[in-house]
A and B are shown apart, each in its own frame.
Chain A
């Protein structure tokens, strides 16, 4: 095991939890990013508008973070354009078929004590660990 941080990950995690809870408090919606992004692409009218506003907020936050410190977006993973494209395709299919991602299942779902979300989260974590075990040697 390598050295790990506690304070910033914990603070960031709490902010994520607060942001997701605010979404519930104000609009009554679950803050699942894959669902919000997919709905923005495939739905119409008001259903599209609020989702677009949320996605715009995510990107605006990215612009803000980048202007404060570009290290927030450091990428030394070694993953090239082909790998990220295949990864994006798999994440798109998987989150749509499985009904959620790290935020919808992992944070909001487990935070509501949903058995479905717990099962999904354990599954995607184990699958992610298996994939990293398989491909990580190629990147060293």
Chain B
């Protein structure tokens, strides 16, 4: 197995430990964070804050110190700057699903390790939703954008 795959496995492992100890794998905590008009639970704001600040500092250091990744050829960083309809429409649908189920993709996949039936159903449905997006919804959005 290539070193880069072992690295990816270890990053996934560490990522899920972070999700677990932070509380992200408990849907009621996620829902509590989003419940601003109800029993608002601010805890998860610290997850986001800790993750964003540590990633910001580390990526700054990595980009300055390394011209290529340690086990790869190039840094693959998104370069788009425009705000388009797909971005916002997609984010709305994601947010609605997140609030309904209390799972976003990382915690749901991590929760497969607990044998949770809810998580299994969520992840299978998520895969089907992605297929639907690729085959049906994104082509329609692209077609409409070209017409207008």
Taking Cβ atoms with an 8 Å cutoff, the residues of A that contact B are 1-6, 8-31, 33-34, 37-38, 41-42, 49-51, 53-66, 70, 72-77, 79, 81, 83-99, 101-103, 105-116, 119-121, 123-133, 135-136
Contacts and interface: CB of A to CB of B under 8 A. Distances in A.
Interface of B is mostly: helix
A50 B50 contact: no
Interface centre among B26, B50, B138 (most CB of A within 10 A): B50
B69 A25 contact: yes
Contacts of B82: 116
Contacts of B22: 8-9, 11-13, 15-16
A26 B20 contact: no
Given A22-B14, A26-B4, A94 B93 contact: yes
Identify the 6 closest CB pairs spanning chains A and B, nearest first.
A62-B113, A98-B90, A92-B129, A12-B22, A57-B12, A127-B95
Count chain B CB atoms within 10 A of each CB in A16, A19, A34, A112 and give the residue with the most.
A16
Chain A interface helix/strand/loop/mixed: helix
Interface residues of B, number: 121
Contact of B105 (A75, A79, A95): A95
Interface of B: 1-2, 4-28, 31-32, 34-56, 58-59, 62, 66, 68-78, 80-83, 86-106, 108-119, 121-134, 137-138, 141
B54 A21 contact: yes
